[in-house]
Structure 1
Amino acid sequence: MKCIAVSVVLMFVAVITEAQQTLKFDFGNGRVKKGYTAVTPESKFANEKGYGFTAESEVTAVDRGGKSVNDDYITSSKPFYFSVNLPDGNYDVKIILGDKKGTSATTVRAECRRLFLENIRTAKGKFVTETFTVNVRDSLIRDEKGNIVKAVRLKPREYNYLHWDNFLTIEFNDSLPKVCAIEITPNKTAPTIFLAGNSTVVDQDKEPWAAWGQMIPRFFAPGKAAVANYAESGEALNSFLSARRLEKILSLMKPGDYLFIEFGHNDMKQKGPGIGPFTSYKKLLKQYIAEVKKKAGIPVLVTSMHRRNFDKDGKIINTLLEYPEAVRQTAKEENVAVIDLNAMSKVLYEAWGPIKSIKAFVHFPANTFPGQTTKLEDNTHFSTYGAYELAKCIVKSIKDQNLPLAQFLRTDIAVYDPASPATFESFYWPMSSFLTSTKPDGN
């Protein structure tokens, strides 16, 4: 993780905030277009510059000759990462991909493996300009005047996450990535879709783990909305509150922003007087709803998906007790939307069955990944394939219910039926550089 000199960051942030300028980066060793900042293989990140490639990035430049930003590019045979200092907010990121003498294939993610562009291919001599809208944040909580008053209580592992660090970090991946230029512009009008949840929602920072929250940005149209995923592994409604995660969200929330709320896996393990799905759990759900409404935001409840637990007939066994039903009841009582991921996941898992569903969860033999000496068998947390299919369930419910935020979805999304999911073999995911065999918190 990059260490941040606070004074440098605040100075850089002030420039961006006051000017509301578009940052333009011309990638490659060729002639730099006027108004752009040159980015060469030697442009390693430094706080005093405020941008550059991260230390693990190994890149090369190709110059085809000419005066356009399209005439040179940066490429690599491995995933590479480009970071820019930016303040809290939403940004439209425009990327030019291609090669005037060759082909290209690029997948783009940001922050902790948050998916935006999938396998964008260009024919020989062709270029494509793609745009996505991304949320950037730090862990500081500010008052209405911008004064720092508190901070989110991060867990030690979060210090190395790429989504708490005052940077937008963009991951370029795939078989033949060729990046010609990037433009980054603040987006002050797009609503923010905040996510509150646990390890089944969080932007999992390392392969092979994943969750639906890091997949769903892929389905929103550029410029229309930004997803801000505040979920964290191991969290329950009460611990999310005590860590000031909700407080941070509320400090940024604008009228018309959304908060998706999905908890249950960790809440159900809590014991004690007055603790239960229809008592403490519902009370906290209603507290979240009330706080969001005070900010003129729009709360959306999400029932927790099932664990992978089949009976002898291939039917899903409910291990979440009455917690999903408590969410449904709360939504009805508070007159807020509910996305019933619990019901959809039952259909989805049973469509896969006990064998095919293994591919949707983190099940890998020993030595599949470097340093992984024991097999991985996790029936709660998802592989990238499983997380992607669950994100499609969320999108389906948004569309089926014709929720207002359906207008922000991409128009090219295929019709989805959890009873007939895409096959594992059809799913494409070039792996990121960061790996771990450590299971996320929660179960």
Structure 2
Amino acid sequence: MKKWIAAGFVMMLMLCFGKIESIKAAEQKVYQFDFGSGSVEPDYIGVRASDRYNTSKGYGFQTPEHMKDVAASGTGVKSDAVQFLAYGTKSDNTFNVDLPNGLYEVKVTLGNTARASVAAEGVYQVINMTGDGAEDTFQIPVTDGQLNLLVTEGKAGTAFTLSALKIKKLSDQPVTNRTIYIGGDSTVCNYYPLNSSKQAGWGQMLPQFMSKNAFQVRNMASGGQFARGFRDDGQLEAILKYIKPGDYFILQLGINDTNPKNNETEAEFKEIMRDMVRQVKAKGAEAILSAPQGRATDFNAAGEHTALNRWYRASILALAKEEQTALIDLNVLSSSYFTSIGPEKTLALYMDGDTLHPNRAGAGELARIVAQELKKLGVNGF
């Protein structure tokens, strides 16, 4: 009888204080972690930088000696964070969570940071999250009973911090939903906050034109990226780890490849792009090439927008034909649209004082055009 009373008393304490010391007691569908030395939000598990992983509680930092508690400027879970002092996609300075095998949705909330990426299982998951308290979500299959995650370099010399994680189980099957992966540069990539940023890339806006039940979109594009960098610096690696038959990979590069500082000739660009296309096809997925749109000011004397000779477009078209790969000629398609609305309205779709980077409205129009072409190509869900 005394044992039952004692057990009941312990349970009452746990309910009253909302503190869960272990996630091992039973399989859960949602796990929430609040990082830092401040107060812990209701329904969250508090985690300090000094909390080392052990098998009894099922979560913690692999190497807490390389972690630090820091303040953050937000409220609630965003009021504090932990900083990763050691990082890199292959680093073992990870936050580990024991999870039953399956497919999970992970929501990441960063602390104060200029630009940081999220890695898990040794590859990038989210590229270049910017701004204090930035949030993003990704799917990840767990196949070895544990998630290993860290925040890593987006911009050298800045702090890489984590305020909160929400991990939700989607399926017992450790396979991602059908996915459209996107590779590209600053005209394609995500900007934060995702739902309200003034600047946007068309990859960020593409989900608005899709059925959520058909595909998820994983935008792995990043500002300043060129073909060799995308292939060799971890972004393609992340895609190849998960891409599978039934998935698509849309690849749009060329703008930064023409910049002399990247030391990449057009012939080299074409062969690197070919290599990426073939690696994706070897996984049983479909590759789609896209030719970048021109500048807002690419109007001729007749009032026609044309940018046919920009960004190695000729090599992109030739490669699509040689590799029998689907093509979205966003260059021509966007020019047709810009011609129809005229120079003034076209300029209004770009960032102020910037003729290259679309604003949110401009990115939305480019995404609409891409979605229309995907539908024409027979990709369902648009």
Q: TM-score range by the shorter chain?
A: 0.5 to 0.7
Letter of the structure 1 residue corresponding to residue 275 of structure 2: Q
**Residue 379 of structure 1: which of 346, 350, 355 is its match?**
355
Deviations 1:120-165 (A, max 9, x none): xxxxxxxxxxxxx963469xxx9999898x9986433897699xx9
Secondary structure of 2:138's partner? strand
Residue 56 of structure 1 aligns with an amino acid whose one-letter code is G
CA deviation after TM superposition for structure 1 residue 360, in Å = 0.8
Classify the secondary structure of the residue corresponding to 2:357.
strand
Question: How far 1:218 moved relative to its partner?
Answer: 2.0
How far, CA to CA, are the matches of 2:240 and 2:29 in structure 1? 27
Q: State the Cα RMSD in Å.
A: 4.5
SS in 2 for 1:361: coil
Compared with structure 1, are the counterparts of its residues 391 and 210 closer, same or farther at alpha carbon in structure 2 (3 Å cutoff)? same
- Does residue 408 of the first structure (1) align with residue 354 of the second (2)? no
Contact residue 104 and residue 169 of structure 2 kept, 8 A: no
Tell me the alpha carbon deviations over residues 337-362 of structure 1, each in whole angstroms, 9 at most, x when there is no partner: 11111111101222221111222111
Query: Are 1:340 and 2:339 an aligned pair?
Result: no
Query: CA distance change for structure 1 residues 330 and 144 in 2, over 3 Å: closer, same or farther?
Result: farther
Would you say the 8 A contact 2:183–2:219 is kept in 1? yes
Compute the displacement of 1:190 (Å): 2.0
Deviation at 1:321, TM superposition (A): 3.0
Paired position in structure 1 for 2:179: 192
Q: 1:189-338, aligned counterparts within 5 Å?
A: 190-205=177-192, 207-270=197-260, 275-277=264-266, 279-309=267-297, 310-318=299-307, 321=310, 323-338=312-327
**In structure 2, how many angstroms separate the alpha carbons of the residues matched to 1:394 and 1:44?**
41
How many angstroms apart in 1 are the aligned matches of 2:270 and 2:216? 28
Aligned partners of 1:286, 1:344: CA distance in 2, in Å?
Answer: 23
Structure 1 residue 191 displacement after superposition: 1.2
The CA deviation at 1:328 is: 1.2
Q: Give identity over the alignment, percent.
A: 24
Shift of 1:305: 1.1
8 Å CA contact retained: 1:135, 1:227 = no
How far apart are residue 203 of structure 1 and its match?
A: 0.5
The one of 327, 342, 355 equivalent to 2:344 is 355
Whole-angstrom distance in 2 between the partners of 1:185 and 1:323: 41
After TM superposition, give the deviation of residue 43 of structure 1 in Å. Answer: 3.7
User: Does structure 1 residue 56 correspond to structure 2 residue 74?
Assistant: yes
Contact in 1 for aligned 2:106/2:166 (Cα 8 Å) = no
Q: Specify the alignment match of 1:63 in structure 2.
A: none
Task: Provide the aligned length of Structure 1 versus Structure 2.
Answer: 280
Return closer, same or farther for 1:143/1:326 CA change in 2, 3 Å cut-off: farther
Counterpart amino acid of 1:200?
Answer: T
User: How far has the Cα of 1:24 moved from its partner?
Assistant: 9.3
What is the CA–CA distance in structure 2 between the aligned matches of 1:357 and 1:86, rounded to whole Å? 51
Does the 8 A contact of 2:140 with 2:176 survive in 1?
no
Q: What SS class does the counterpart of residue 325 from structure 1 fall into?
A: helix
State the 1:247 CA deviation.
1.1
Partner of 2:87: none
Amino acid at match of 1:342: N
Flag the 1:137–1:231 CA change in 2: closer, same or farther, 3 A. farther
TM-score normalised over the length of structure 2: 0.60
Letter of the aligned partner of 2:74 in structure 1? E
Unaligned segments of structure 1, at least 5 residues: 1-10, 26-40, 60-84, 94-110, 114-132, 170-182, 364-376, 410-443
Alignment match, 2:6: none
Give the structure 1 partner of residue 118 of structure 2: none
Equivalent in the alignment of 1:99? none
Question: Which residue is 1:397 aligned to?
Answer: 373
Structure (1 or 2) with the larger CA radius of gyration = 2
Distance 2:201 2:329 in 1: 16
Under a length normalisation based on structure 1, what TM-score does the superposition of the two structures give? 0.53
Asked if structure 2 preserves the Cα contact closer than 8 Å seen for 1:265 and 1:304, the reply is: yes
C-alpha separation between the residues in 1 aligned to 2:158 and 2:200? 16
Q: 2:180, 2:250 within 8 Å by CA — same for their partners in 1?
A: yes
Instruction: Tell me if the contact between 2:256 and 2:262 (Cα under 8 Å) persists in the aligned partners.
Output: no
**How many Å separate the matches in 2 of 1:47 and 1:219?**
38
Shift of 1:255: 2.7
Alignment-derived partner of residue 135 in structure 1: 138
Amino acid at match of 2:327: V
For residues 98 and 129 of structure 2, the distance between their equivalents in structure 1, rounded to whole angstroms, comes to 16
In structure 2, how many angstroms separate the alpha carbons of the residues matched to 1:284 and 1:146?
A: 35
Shift of 1:216: 0.8
Q: Which amino acid aligns with 1:135?
A: F
Question: Is the contact between residue 103 and residue 176 of structure 2 (CA under 8 Å) also seen in structure 1?
Answer: no
Gaps of 5+ in 2: 1-21, 33-39, 49-58, 60-71, 78-96, 108-127, 131-135
Letter matched to residue 178 of structure 2: P
- Aligned counterparts, 1:19-58, within 5 A: 19=27, 22-23=29-30, 43=42, 47-48=46-47, 56-57=74-75
Within 2, Cα distance between the matches of 1:266 and 1:400? 28
Measure the CA separation in 2 of the matches of 1:210 and 1:86: 36
- Paired with 1:227 and 1:242, the residues of 2 have a C-alpha distance of 22
**What CA deviation, in whole Å up to 9, does each residue of 1:345-390 have, x standing for no partner?**
1012222211112221112xxxxxxxxxxxxx11111111111111
Native 8 Å contact 2:30 2:166 kept in 1: no
